[in-house]
Amino acid sequence: MARMHIMAGVGDKLDMPAIRTISTNDLSDVLRRGAADFWAKPSHYILLILIYPIIGIVLTVWMEGFHTWPLLYPLVGGFALLGPIAALPLYEISRRREMGEDTSWSEALSVFRSPAIGSILAVGAMLLVLFTLWLTGAQALYESLFGASTPRTLTGLLTQVTSEPGGLTLLAAGSALGALFALVVLCTTVIAFPLLLDRDVGAYVAIETSMRAVMHNPVPMLAWGLIVGAGLFLGSLPLFVGLAVVLPIFGHATWHLYRKLVEPASVIRTASN
Question: Would the pLDDT of 87 be above 60?
Answer: yes
243, 250 in Cβ contact below 8 A? no
Q: E strand or H helix at 28, and its extent?
A: helix 24-40
More confident: 84 or 260:
260
Instruction: Specify the pLDDT at position 113.
Output: 81
**How confident is the model at residue 188, as a pLDDT?**
94
How many helices (H) and strands (E) in the chain?
15, 0
The residues facing 262 across adjacent strands are: 19
Mean pLDDT of 252-263: 95
pLDDT digits (tens, 9 = 90+) for 21-42: 999 999 999 999 999 998 887 7
63: Cβ–Cβ under 8 A, 6 or more apart, which residues?
A: 69, 71, 72, 154
**Of 42, 61, 23, nearest to 249 (Cα)?**
42
Mean pLDDT of 180-186: 91
* pTM of the complete model: 0.82
Supply angle C-alpha 218, 141, 189, rounded to 5.
Answer: 30
- pLDDT cut 90: percent of the chain above it: 29
Residue 19 pairs in a beta bridge with 262
Predicted local distance difference test score (pLDDT) of residue 271:
42
pLDDT interval class at 54 (50, 70, 90): low
Q: Pick the range with the lowest mean pLDDT from 52-66, 129-143, 201-215.
A: 52-66
Report residue 205's pLDDT band, with 50, 70 and 90 as the boundaries.
very high
Domain range annotation of the chain:
23-263
H or E stretch at 47: helix 46-49
Cis peptide before 238 (omega within 30 of 0): yes
> Whole-number mean pLDDT of the chain?
81
pLDDT at residue 238, as a whole number: 65
CB 39 within 8 A of CB 255: no
User: Contact at 8 Å (CB) between 241 and 76?
Assistant: no
pLDDT at 3 (0 to 100): 47
Could you list the beta-strand ranges (E) of the chain. Answer: none
pLDDT at 256 over 80: yes
Residue 2: what pLDDT? 45
